[in-house]
Amino acid sequence: MRKVLEPLRQEAIQRWQALQNSDKPVILVGAATCGRASGALDVMAAIEDKLREQGRDAIVRQVGCIGKCHSEVLVDIIKPGRPRITYGHITPELAKQLVEDYLVNDNPRTDLAVCAASGEETDIPCADELPDSKHQIRVVMCNCGHIDPGSIDDYLAQDGYMGLAKALEMTPQEIIEVLKQSGLRGRGGAGFPAGRKWESCLKAKSDQKYVICNADEGDPGAFMDRSVLEGDPYSVIEGMAIAGYAIGASKGYVYVRAEYPLAIRQLRLAIQQAKEKNLLGKNILGSGFDFELEIFQGAGAFVCGESTALVLSIEGRRGMPKPLPRPRTTEEGLWGKPTLLNNVKTFACVAQIIHRGAEWFKSIGTEKCPGTAVFALTGKVNKSGLIEVPMGIQLKKIIYEIGGGVAGGREFKAVQTGGPSGGCLPADLLDLPVDFDSLTAAGSMMGSGGMVVMDDSTCMVDVARYFLEFTLEESCGQCTPCRVGTEQMLKILHDICEGKGREEDIDLLVEMGKAIIDGSICGLGQSAPNPVLSTIRYFRDEYEAHIREKRCPALVCKKLIYYRIDPDKCQACGRCLKACPVQAITGAKKTPHVIDLSKCTKCGVCFEICPDRFSAVERKTGQAEELN
Amino acid sequence: MVTLYVDDLAVSVEKGSTILDAARKLGIYIPTLCYHPDLTTFGGCRVCMVEANGKLVTACRAPVEEGMVVRTDSSAARQVQRTVVELTLSNHNGDCLTCVKDSRCKLQEVANYVGITPERMAMLRSAVPEVEVDESNPFFKLDRTRCILCGICVRTCQEINGVAAIDFGFRGHKTTVVTIGNKGLAESRCESCGECLERCPTGALARKDYEQPSREVKSVCPYCGVGCGIYLGVRGDRVVSVRGDKDSPVNSGQLCVKGRFGYHFINHPDRLTAPLIKRDGVFVEASWDEALDLVAARFLETAKHYGPDALAGISSARCTTEENYLFQKLLRFLGTNNIDHCARL
Amino acid sequence: MCVENFEVSLNEVFSRFKGRREELIPVLQAAQAAFGYLPVEVMKEIAGFISVPESQVYGVATFYAQFYFSRRGKHTVKVCLGTACHVKGGGRLMEAFERELGVECGCVIPDYQFGLERVNCVGACAIAPVVMVGEDVYGHMESNRVKEVLDKYEKGS
């Protein structure tokens, strides 16, 4: 089949090279959802306007997420004969300026540049040597931010579809052997060996089988799958086609959240293009293998990340996971047929593993967890972004080197991984290697890849409460431990946060948490207590401060804090007085203002509005002296 | 047959049986709430958790295996059972004395078994939902504060009656039993057969005018020709309830709205106990001879003047088949085919 | 919006489907796109079209967060309460919007200008806390900018 692919590939490579060696400048705008949220489309329009105005010709292209979310909007410019330069924090005004300065007047504006592709530009750091780049290895996201997600030729030029073409020359069992040798584990969170899953599906006898890609990414603070679909949908489609061939399925579904309109659009376009090139549909590459792909828009239910719930959802039912014992989805899934369900990132790895071989994949990461991990690194970190690191990397490297440390010079307190199913890890675990097993052993989990950094202004009881609130809403509601248990735990946490906690509550939470883990039907309930249990395990003193001293050390829990104006710092500017929505602040010109705590609703508006140079409004915890 | 050990006792059961089946065969009690023998298993309540070969499983779903060792009272199983029941109670309107299911309540039974202490309950926060009781149905009410979301009513409506007037709605802690648009049962497709409330383990679905009978009398439903077996609940000389006879080959315990709830006519003051003849615009009690003579005379008179097709007869569904046969014989003898009866639901 | 004439648009929606059980969620999505929300009458029609009991159509629709059962505001304010936004004060921001609009999260103001909702991550964590009004994204939001943001829509309405 590689012979059939070759002409398509050559044509694509020629086009790609023509673009790289173009005599016109090439301008790439990062226009995935994160870029768009920061104004990428306005920047692009500004660039096009300016080019027109100046009568300049350039190729302007949209690319997916390159991962440096902290510097959005990102614009790359490749001038003929010059290295690719990446510019960050570009606004429409700066974009116009940049066109004028660099394209017209040949001033590369090193002050705006983030990095350059090679070390030739003396004043710009080299991309590969940036602290946030040097620990990263791109497998899943190798094409994101690099290719135009709307052009299958771009993908073909990056060795795209070499994996499928090779796979079609192999037997299904051979493909599965390669996958097993590679040690690839499912990237959806639990880390089940992909090869074994595929094999069980291959062995299931049926006239019809299905391949489903789970892109129902619902974790708050996670957007890896979305970025892959937006930046490189082809890798997922190719991986799914290989899976279809390997297990004997002719139909696949991509289950995408309806809240991801751009990802759906890119995916639809990619499917269309793949069909046109006979890389999807009937008799793919003349192999006799048929594979159709359909998009199913998930209607918003976190629990549908669970395989049986997802299947029920496609069947048009309530996504309530089926209790054990039940047949595996690989044996009895969609409409009772054997169904292979993997995460976006798992499929994105497959094509490269087949193309480059199991040994290549095993050379990345650790022995038990080969390959890379993709994280959405966010929270109180200097450089938020989408990162891809080899498995086994230490947490501190991610946070301090890639993430540039805790924002605002504050003190690191915890890092949360695994979203609502995961846990919070404290500073003394920063040496922990990041892989499925180590994180689980530490009371958290890999999850699908959210990583939220928290500093000393984050209250761990409040964080536990936050995640529990999420699971409470997202529980399917069928089993008692999860439905009522999360509500009960949440009520207790509410009480603790409001200073109404009781001494026995911590032990009660631990005991109840364990029973919920043992008693729940599915993974959602079985992991729902994790955020609470892990914060109790590592930050018990914070719980105790709330319960015994009625204090919130991080100054977050509203009922346990109060605001006060430091009379020595107050300059009587009147800003807080005017802004207070309940007229709780009194004062006059040249008289330091005072907050009437009996009226104050603790909304914090005064605290936010007080100019940094005064910082007169203080947030305090414990019993206010004024109320004594 | 599969042989296994439940609490050290050996038992042999059919392949495909569940641990619950095996335990029940041995007479070993395993608490259940959402399990009902008439319905598909759900597995949502989680109170039947037992330890099988060292793993916690739900007894109602887990199939037996050869040589399986089941412990219904291991500390891990007990811990889950107890927490689940405590949680269920924290979410349940505990005003038992005003509940019609008091002392017949499955939740009470299960709570007694696992052992609930006031000290433990005091540690939990109350999470009883604040919702109005749905009183829209004339015969029974749906009190969601007493609902434990076992889903028995939902499955009954789908699997037994085939109406599916209700389903689970919403999700998470907001999950509740709903009709379309979350409106009252009376506005839904509910046929008021009452099968759901017969199976409801708590007082969530309960009769409005419930009176505990002092004895029961086996009988046959008088409404239609099906002949469902029933038990009439009697208190003094009044009929206060009807329930289906599970052993009846006709209905296996099921009843329709009329059979289950339409018994009030028996003791109703307006019920006719003697023939009435209208004299000077007022109904007056008469003897059977008087009444039958009048009917016969009027039949003959009408047939003579207007022809026999001017006559028509409607018989009651409460008549037996034999009575109906005789009735149509009578009308055909009078020369008319205009015969009907009301045995429709 | 004109729910009274829903049969016309509903037939248009139905014409795109075959009426099979597995189409229930796509049909609900299409109906919501046509009407803005899912009126009970529409759900009853869908039940007939798909041949599914009415209660189950409602059971499925209420299970998924995407579906609405009452008229929505002209502009929907979505305050992101994803983890990154939460730790950066998304909750206080929500309170500020509730105060300014005079309604709780999940409600629509009486003149249907604005609806207020929470969302569990818009994926713009780098510019947290984030608020969306319609399709517009506001990053690094602060409580004291709430009025200013809302004013933009009030005037242009």
CA separation, residue A77 to residues A36, A61, A100, A203 (Å): 18, 10, 13, 51
Q: Same domain for A525 and A577?
A: no
Q: How far apart, in whole angstroms, are the C-alpha atoms of residue B50 and residue B176?
A: 27
Q: Name the token pair of B71.
A: 């412990």
Amino acid A65: pLDDT: 83
The number of domains in chain A is 5
How many domains would you assign to chain B?
4
A348 and A233 part of one domain: yes
Q: Is residue B52 part of a domain?
A: yes
Q: How far apart are CA A343 and CA A218, in angstroms?
A: 12
In this prediction, residues A336-349 reach a mean pLDDT of 96
Q: How confident is the model at residue A628, as a pLDDT?
A: 43
Same domain? For B48 and B89 the reply is: yes
Question: Does A428 fall in a domain?
Answer: yes
* Whether residue B155 is found in the same domain as residue B255: no
Q: What is the mean pLDDT of residues A314-322?
A: 96
Interface test with B, best of C55, C63, C68, C70 (most B CBs within 10 A): C55
Which range among A306-310, A395-399, A602-606 shows the weakest confidence by mean pLDDT? A602-606
CATH number, residue A404 = 3.10.20.600
Say whether B56 sits in a helix, a strand or coil. Answer: strand
CATH number, residue C24 = 1.10.10
Average pLDDT over chain B, rounded to whole?
Answer: 94
Does residue A310 sit at the C interface (CB-CB below 8 Å)? Answer: no
Please give the residue of chain A at the shortest CA–CA distance from C21. Answer: A316
Q: Is the CB of A379 less than 8 angstroms away from the CB of C88? A: yes
For chain A, how many helices (H) and strands (E)? Answer: 24, 18
What percentage of residues in chain C have a pLDDT greater than 70? 95
Among A34-38, A386-390, B289-293, C43-47, the least confident range:
A34-38
> What ranges make up the beta strands (E) of A225-347?
251-257, 292-298, 339-343
Q: Amino acid letter at A607?
A: F
Say if residue C157's pLDDT is above 50. no
| Cα separation, A552 vs A545, whole angstroms | 7
* φ, ψ (nearest 5 deg) of residue A81: 80, 0
Task: Give the CATH number, domain containing residue C120.
Answer: 3.40.30.10
Q: DSSP secondary structure string, B289-343? A: HHHHHHHHHHHHHHHHHH-GGG--EEE-TTS-HHHHHHHHHHHHHHT---EEE--
Which of C13, C39, C63 is a domain's end point? C63
Residues C36 and C107 reside in one and the same domain: no
Q: Is residue C69 part of a domain?
A: no
At B276, phi and psi to the nearest 5?
Answer: -120, 140
Chain mean pLDDT for chain A: 92
User: Same structural domain for residues A302 and A181?
Assistant: yes
Which one of C24, C120, C124 has the shortest CB-CB distance to A220?
A: C120
* Residue with token string 């300016």: A50
- Its domain, for residue A85, covers 11-127
Q: Looking at the structure, do residues A436 and A391 belong to the same domain, yes or no?
A: yes
The reply to whether C84 and C54 lie within a common domain is no
Same domain, C31 and C82: no
Task: In whole angstroms, give the CA distance from residue B3 to residue B66.
Answer: 5
Please check whether residue B12 touches A, CB under 8 A: no
Domain match, C110 and C86 both: yes
Same domain as A566, residue A503 = no
A487 and B173: CB-CB below 8 Å?
Answer: yes
Per-residue pLDDT tens for A487-505? Answer: 999 999 999 999 999 999 9
Residue range B275-283: average pLDDT?
94
State whether A318 and C63 contact (CB < 8 Å). yes
C91, C36: one domain: no
- Which residue in C24, C42, C58 has the most chain B C-beta atoms within 10 A of its own C-beta, making it the best mutation to test that interface? C58
Average pLDDT over residues B139-156: 97
**CATH code at position A176:** 3.40.50.11540
- Residue A3 within a domain: no
Question: In this complex, is the C-beta atom of A261 within 8 Å of any C-beta atom belonging to chain C?
Answer: no
C16 and C87 both lie in a single domain: no
Look at residue B344 in the predicted model and tell me its pLDDT. 62
Q: Quick check: is C68 in a domain? A: no
How many Cα atoms sit within 13 Å of A169 on the Cβ side? 12
Does residue B64 form part of some domain? yes
Give residue A35's Cα distance to chain centre: 14
Do A171 and A318 lie in one domain? The reply is yes
Q: What is the mean pLDDT of the segment spanning A333-354?
A: 96
Q: H or E stretch including A454?
A: strand A450-455
d(CA C148, CA C144): 8
pLDDT for B319: 78
Name residue B3's beta-bridge partners.
B12
Q: Tell me the HSE value of A197 on the side-chain side, using a 13 A CA sphere.
A: 25
* Residue C76, C-beta contacts closer than 8 angstroms, at least 6 positions apart: C114, C115, C116, C117, C132, C133, C134
B101 reaches A (C-beta below 8 A)? no
**pLDDT band for position C156 (50/70/90)?**
low
Domain limits at C52?
A: 3-63
Instruction: Kindly determine whether residue C59 and residue B171, on different chains, have CB atoms separated by under 8 Å.
Output: no
Give CA–CA dist A456/B96, Å, rounded.
48
For residue A370, the SS3 value is strand
Residues A147, A266: Cα–Cα separation, whole Å: 13
In sequence order, which residues have a C-beta less than 8 Å from that of residue A106 and are 6 or more positions away? none
Place C2 in a pLDDT band, splitting at 50, 70 and 90.
very low
**Lowest mean per-residue pLDDT among A65-74, A386-395, B125-134:** A65-74
Of A548, A572, A596, the residue that ends a domain is A548
In a domain? residue B132: no
CA distance B319 to chain C (A): 35
Token reading at B196: 């759901």
Say which CATH number the domain at B50 has: 3.10.20.740
Query: Same domain, yes or no, for C58 and C91?
Result: no
More confident site: A544 or A37:
A544
Please say if the pLDDT value at position A448 is more than 80: no
What is the pLDDT at residue A617?
Answer: 95
- Do B22 and B98 share a domain, yes or no? yes
Residue B187 included in any domain: yes
Closest chain B residue to the Cα of A301, Cα to Cα? B171
* Domain of residue B193, residue span: 140-207
Provide DSSP, A333-353: -GGGS-EEEEEHHHHHHHHHH
Does a structural domain hold residue A143?
A: no
What's A136-168 look like in SS3?
CCCCCCCCCCCCCCCCHHHHHHCCCCHHHHHHC
Q: What amino acid occupies position A140?
A: V
Nearest to B150 by CA among B20, B29, B30, B46: B46
Chain C residues with beta carbon closer than 8 angstroms to that of A314? 22
Give helix A505-519 / helix A480-497 axis angle, nearest 10°.
Answer: 160
Structure confidence at residue A121 (pLDDT): 65
With a cut of 50, say whether residue A47 has pLDDT above it. Answer: yes
Mutate to test the interface with A, among B49, B56, B125 (most CBs of A within 10 A): B125
- How far, CA to CA in Å, does A514 sit from each of A526, A576, B203? 9, 47, 30
Residue C50 falls inside a structural domain: yes
Query: pLDDT tens digits for B225-246?
Result: 788 999 999 999 999 999 999 9
Quick one: pLDDT at residue A528? 95
* Chain C residue with the nearest C-alpha to that of B185: C55
The runs of H, that is alpha helices, within A397-554 are 436-441, 460-474, 480-497, 505-519, 523-527, 530-548
Look at residue B134 and tell me if it is in a domain. no
Per DSSP, chain C holds a count of helices (H) and strands (E) of 7, 4
Q: Would you tell me how many other CB atoms lie within 10 Å of the CB of residue A568?
A: 7
Report if residue A427 sits inside a domain: yes
Interface test with A, best of C21, C25, C117 (most A CBs within 10 A): C25
Same domain? For C102 and C131 the reply is yes
Whether residue C57 is found in the same domain as residue C106: no
A 474-503: CB under 8 A from B: 474-481, 483-488, 491-492, 495, 502
Q: What is the pLDDT of residues A259-285, one digit of tens each?
A: 888 899 999 999 999 999 999 999 999
Task: Name every chain A residue with its beta carbon within 8 A of the beta carbon of C121.
Answer: 219-223
Q: Which residues contact A257 (CB under 8 A, 6 or more apart)?
A: A215, A216, A217, A218, A226, A297, A298, A300
Is residue A209 within 8 A of residue A248, CB to CB? The reply is: yes
Asked if residue A446 belongs to a domain, the reply is yes
